[in-house]
Amino acid sequence: MIKKVVIPAAGKGTRMLDLAKDRPKHLIDVLDRPFLHYVLENLQEAGFEEMILVIGHHAERMVEFAKKDGKAFPITLVNQFEVMGTEKYGTAIPVLAAREQVGDDDFVCIYGDNLYGPRDLMATRELDAGCSFLSLLYSETPEKYAVPLLDGDVVKKLVEKPKTFITNWSSIGCYKFTSDIFEECAKVERSERGEYELTDAIASMAEKGKVRARKMIDYWLDFGNPDDVESVANLVRERLGEGKPVEPVDEPN
């Protein structure tokens, strides 16, 4: 069973506006705790033994977090800017930054500004060795995400923000990787946005038949805009029994 998880958390968080002016958005408070606390708490509940947190902007605040609120979790800090420099930007870069800590092991990767349920995180830990996986969520707006072309559970192709409809099942940043992902990330070139995209590396692996998919059974929340603070707070209250229980994700009929 997988023990390591890589958590990219190096971004600026510009969409959070003034809330992220002096800190990474991952450390914005939700009910008097940094958002990142809830991410790590769910990972701990799912049984991860090493949490590799890739930091960058306002790295000093992340170091402070790790020494205080984060000391309850098995965190290893990796400074993306120290390992990879500051010129390259994009979702493939923090994965490459964690290469030395991961080694040849299979690992899970989740974005540090997303909250996934413990049941999905546990299920991702238990996925087959020797193959990489995407976690998929049914979305009414798949054009906002990376969307797979599937043959059963095998990903034949991965299309970022498709202009024509493929499927409502969308990749939402929860992955299980083999160490092959590092070589693919190293080969990625700048996208049209000028970034080094993790989805390009996954798409390359999919063309070689090395990627499969699983559908999520629990909740997922993005933490990208100021309104998301209240959404996460409501979810936390529900999990604490102060509101309606969180419903699992069901595939539409």
Percent of the chain scoring above 70 in pLDDT = 95
Residue 178 within a domain: yes
Residue 131 within a domain: yes
DSSP, residue by residue, 98-146: THHHHTTS-EEEE-TTEEE-HHHHHHHHTSPTTSEEEEEEE-S-GGGSE
Q: Using the 8-state DSSP alphabet, how is residue 85 labeled?
A: -
- The rounded distance, in Å, linking the Cα atoms of 102 and 237 is 34
Query: What is the β-pairing status of strands 107-110 and 146-151?
Result: unpaired
pLDDT band at 13 (very low <50, low <70, confident <90, very high): confident
- The residue written with tokens 């929340």 in the block is 221
Give tens-digit pLDDT for 59-105.
Answer: 999 999 999 989 999 999 999 999 999 999 999 999 999 999 999 99
Residue 30 within a domain: yes
* Residue 242 confidence (pLDDT): 53
Average pLDDT taken over every residue of the chain: 93
Residue 244 within a domain: no
Q: Is the pLDDT of residue 248 over 70?
A: no
Tokens of 6: 């890589």
Give tens-digit pLDDT for 167-224.
Answer: 999 999 999 999 999 999 999 999 998 999 999 999 999 999 999 999 999 999 999 9
Residue 251 within a domain: no
* Residue 221 confidence (pLDDT): 95
Nearest of 231, 238, 161, 171 to residue 202 by alpha carbon: 171
Q: What helix, strand, coil percent values describe the chain, rounded to 5?
A: 35, 25, 40
- The CATH code of the domain that includes 87 is 3.90.550.10
Domain containing 77: what range? 4-239
Task: Identify whether the C-beta of residue 111 lies closer than 8 Å to the C-beta of residue 173.
Answer: yes
* Residue 253 confidence (pLDDT): 40
Tokens of 91: 């979702």
Bridge partners, residue 169, by sequence: 138
Residue 245 within a domain: no
Q: To 5 degrees, how large is the angle CA 174–CA 176–CA 182? A: 110
Percent of the chain scoring above 90 in pLDDT = 89
CB burial readout 2-40, b (16+ within 10 A) else e: bebbbbbbbbebeebeebbeebbbbbbebeeebbbbbbb
pLDDT band at 246 (very low <50, low <70, confident <90, very high): very low
Q: Is the pLDDT of residue 121 over 70?
A: yes
Q: To 5 degrees, how large is the angle CA 94–CA 95–CA 98? A: 85
* Residue 12 confidence (pLDDT): 86
Q: Tally the domains of the chain.
A: 1
Residue 252 within a domain: no
Residue 121 within a domain: yes
Query: Is 72 strand, coil or helix?
Result: helix
Burial class (CB in 10 A: 0-12, 13-18, 19+), 167: middle
Q: Is the pLDDT of residue 133 over 70?
A: yes
* Residue 130 confidence (pLDDT): 86
Task: Give the mean pLDDT of 103-131.
Answer: 95
